Amino acid sequence: SCRFSAHQHSSYLYAAEILISAYHRDAEMRPFIFELFHRITEIGLVNLTSDEQALHDKVELVEDFFGIFDRSLRFSPDMVSASAALDRVISLACVCIRIEHKPAAESVYAFLESMYAFGCGLPQPAPPHVSALLGNAAPHVMSAIFAVILAVPPRYIAELMPQTFEYIHRAFPSDFPVWFAQAVTVFPPSVVSESEKPAILEKLSGKAVHTVLNDIGYRCEQVAMRNRNKKPD
């Protein structure tokens, strides 16, 4: 982690991930693995949050930073749960989902998907403090994803979104309508009218998540095209 602090190449995160996957079940190695994970991810977090305007220049670091969280959650959920930076990592993910770089985007969305699957009890029930953290973050995650849809992202990003919504609803079904009502205000009435919101909520709460997000994305694309074609007064 000292070398990573000095050079901050994404390859150090990837190497740490390999060590964690190889030794997470070794009782003698677990203290070292825990310390490695927490130190190296804290260094990565400081780097990525130091200048959010420069994230597009750090796509490999973004990819491996969220990759180590995603895969460590599968290997050792208790290690990820113990991270004091978890709330800041989710907040950073809400910023990084705007990055139009396929491997980085896949890593960020995989992290969010895995975190909310954890909230659903996969691979094991999340500790109460993690469930509370996920609940606090959920409306911000939903708003951030809606903002990306409004900006008309590439198709490969749009295809990554539905599963996160499904897990958020599954983990917090009673809160989901309230969070939806907050998040959907991202869209102008030309994309989502007031009268359409109940039907969209119903689809997002059921098995038509992919379809309804695609439909909203299409509307955003049409609005963007009309705005581009408007002649100046």
- The total of other beta-carbon atoms located within 10 Å of residue 201's CB is 17
Could you tell me the mean pLDDT of each successive run of 10 residues in the chain, 233 residues long?
54 85 87 92 92 90 95 92 96 96 97 97 94 97 98 96 96 97 96 96 93 97 89 58
Q: Which pLDDT belongs to residue 232?
A: 61
User: What pTM was computed for the model?
Assistant: 0.91
Q: Is 230 exposed, middle or buried (0-12, 13-18, 19+ CB in 10 A)?
A: exposed
Q: Is 118 exposed, middle or buried (0-12, 13-18, 19+ CB in 10 A)?
A: buried
Structure tokens at 161: 């979104």
Structure tokens at 227: 């705005």
- The tens digit of pLDDT for each residue in 175-206 reads 999 999 999 999 999 999 999 999 999 999 98
Q: Which pLDDT belongs to residue 13?
A: 87
Q: Which pLDDT belongs to residue 10?
A: 77
- The total of other beta-carbon atoms located within 10 Å of residue 55's CB is 19
